[in-house]
Amino acid sequence: MKYHARPTSVPLRGQVRVPGDKSISHRAVLFSAMAQGTSHLTGVLDSADVRSSIDAVEALGASVEIISEGGGALELQIAGWGGDGPAAPAQAIECGNSGTTARLLMGILAGWDRHVVLQGDESLSLRPMARVTEPLAEMGAVFETRGGLLPVGVRGGFLRAGTHELRVASAQVKTAVLLAGLRADGRTVVTEPAPSRDHTERMLPAFGVPVGRDPEACRAWVDGPDYLKATDVTVPADPSSAAFLVAAALLVPDSDVVLPDVDINPTRTGFLRVVARMGASVSVDLGEVMGGEPTATLRVRYSPVLHATTVTAEEVPSLIDEIPILAIVACAAEGTTRFEGVRELRVKESDRLEAIAEGLTALGCTVRAGDEWLEVQGPCTFGAAAVDSRGDHRLAMAYAVAALSARGVVTIDRFEAMEVSYPSFVADIAALGISERS
């Protein structure tokens, strides 16, 4: 689908609650399926990716009831398989575009004597899975794979506890190993070279599973065998989705936008820290704890004077998904903004490093990219252009935000990709005073 995004002559004003956090929604669904009993989930993101996790756990024997749906959110009741373990499905599990679904399921299935095949769409089938299968294979699981890519056959069984040092910080890999560790006899430890998202460490205790943590050493562990027990989870608003509306408000003159219930987990607030030092006007009013996560109401005002900065490799894990929209913000900043240590962008839903450079160039900006770095020269004014999301949801929305302050129409190919994480994106922009455009 081609989306014709047009510049706006009016500011963005008002309040919008962005959809539930995608990472937390996945975990709430998957952990509930593993648990003994029935869990009640509210605020679950209704997106293509999360639907992949829901469909997967149903195929594996969990019972999922949709209590309500609408406004981009789901209310669910999930009766898990508990100590009986997952069923062996007759067909392959379809993970769609969701790397979280595929990688976390590998950890969940690793400790059960079942044979399950996981497959994905064309994009997911190009993303590396060896970083997950290797530590799980060391624990005793058996994998059938084609060069470390999907489809992957999983044959679980008796697992050995142990210590795993990851080469790349990854919340998905860490989570997969910790979940597998719940089926091993003894302590399973995961150490990362840098901090990654800690949603799993925060949520598992609510399901009755203690998680040991040494944040300074980037280390987490579980003691197995252990089983999850059903609980209730409220999912906070997704900071990665909120970043697109934050950026839009910063760039469109006279905008004033309020975003309630946004997750401000320190492992997810790198974007806010960076735009603050660039000169962005963003206030943070602390709110309730939801799903084990701290939340806040964000108020964002148009910020006409922004300054370039350097995003270091150490900061990247806390904002890896926000780099496409942060690059758009950098186009409005005075000077050269540099992103370091961003090689991981090359193995996302697309080669995001290459795609960002290509898209910003098409929009009339000066950008340079290396194997693991990116530089954006600002300020620049976006021009009319035709760009391709490459089927990547975050690129699709980043280009739509750029279009709000462009000199002409920006045509975005494969815009439907935004449904992966933020299906109500266009409607939420419209709710802030910008007419829906297509």
d(CA 186, CA 161): 5
Q: At what angle do helices 323-330 and 239-251 cross, to 10 degrees?
A: 10
E strands in 120-255: 142-146, 149-155, 159-160, 163-165, 184-191, 212-214, 219-224, 232-234
Helix and strand numbers, DSSP H then E, in the chain: 12, 24
Going 23 to 29 to 30 to 31, the CA torsion angle's sign is positive
The amino acid occupying position 425 is F
Q: Of 14, 65, 20, whose CA–CA distance to 45 is shortest?
A: 20
Cβ atoms 272, 250 nearer than 8 A:
no
Catalytic residue among 46, 321, 388, 392: 321
Task: Look up residue 157 and give its DSSP letter.
Answer: -
| Separation in Å, CA 174 to CA 100, 127, 136, 221, 331 | 11, 17, 11, 10, 34
Q: Which residue has the tokens 């929305």?
A: 397
On the CB side of 140, how many CA atoms lie within 13 Å of its CA? 16
Q: Which residue has the tokens 């799903």?
A: 291
Give the tokens for residue 217. Answer: 């050493």
Q: Which residue has the tokens 């709430």?
A: 28
Which H/E stretch holds residue 412? strand 410-413
Cβ atoms 399, 424 nearer than 8 A:
no
| 232 carries an active-site annotation | no
Residues near 196 by beta carbon (within 8 Å), at least 6 away in sequence? 169, 170, 171, 174, 218, 267, 317
Task: Look up residue 142 and give its DSSP letter.
Answer: E
For strand 38-45 and strand 73-79, is the pairing parallel, antiparallel, or unpaired? antiparallel
d(CA 206, CA 149): 33
Q: Of 167, 163, 173, 266, whose CA–CA distance to 222 is shortest?
A: 163
Catalytic residues: 321
